[in-house]
């Protein structure tokens, strides 16, 4: 899946990101939400910048993930243009400024996926950060949207007992 995603042409990526924005803002979850937890995309992931920009433009709050240890993360408030650093091990962008934990305020969580299946099972990168986060914040489990490129659809992902199923999925 990572190889398929990596070779997507730039135009196909841009079209997928446009479809993603449209599907997200048309979703009932997004329309009802006030505070969105959303990852800051790395290299080959679906870029969430347009979602973040649009959400801020219409008055929604955004929080982005920050790793807090080898197996945990929290979400902190984020504004487009905030200074970020790249995590040395995972290559993900994280807000640099130490901000207050806003994890409990999130009412919609947009989750990156390497692959998704029809039942909402998600294949991530294997570190389990989102699974553990959702275990600590069970109220969010029904307010998750897993997102991936269409080429990353699988008929079935064999989940492990700790894997958290996405409430909704979008393949863009």
Q: How crowded is residue 146: how many other Cβ atoms within 10 Å of its Cβ? A: 26
- Contact present, 17 and 50 (Cβ < 8 Å): yes
pTM equals 0.95
Q: Tens of pLDDT along 31-89?
A: 999 999 999 998 889 999 999 999 999 999 999 999 998 889 999 999 999 999 998 88
pLDDT of residue 90: 83
Domain boundaries of the chain, sorted by first residue = 2-61+106-171
pLDDT of residue 109: 98
Q: How crowded is residue 55: how many other Cβ atoms within 10 Å of its Cβ? A: 25
Q: Does domain 2-61+106-171 have CATH number 3.40.50.10420?
A: yes
């Amino acid at each position: 899946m990572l190889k398929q995603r990596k070779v997507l042409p730039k135009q196909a990526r841009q079209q997928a990101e446009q479809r993603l924005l449209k599907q997200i803002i048309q979703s009932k979850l997004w329309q009802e939400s006030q505070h969105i937890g959303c990852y800051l995309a790395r290299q080959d992931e679906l870029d969430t910048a347009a979602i973040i920009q649009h959400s801020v433009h219409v008055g929604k709050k955004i929080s982005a993930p920050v790793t807090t240890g080898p197996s945990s993360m929290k979400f902190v408030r984020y504004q487009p243009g905030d200074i970020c650093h790249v995590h040395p091990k995972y290559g993900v962008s994280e807000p640099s400024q130490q901000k207050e934990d806003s994890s409990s305020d999130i009412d919609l969580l947009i989750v990156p996926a390497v692959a998704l299946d029809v039942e909402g099972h998600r294949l991530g990168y294997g570190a389990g950060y989102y699974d553990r986060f959702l275990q600590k914040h069970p109220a969010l489990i029904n307010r998750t949207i897993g997102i991936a490129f269409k080429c990353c659809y699988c008929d079935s992902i064999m989940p492990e007992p700790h894997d958290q199923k996405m409430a909704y999925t979008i393949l863009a």
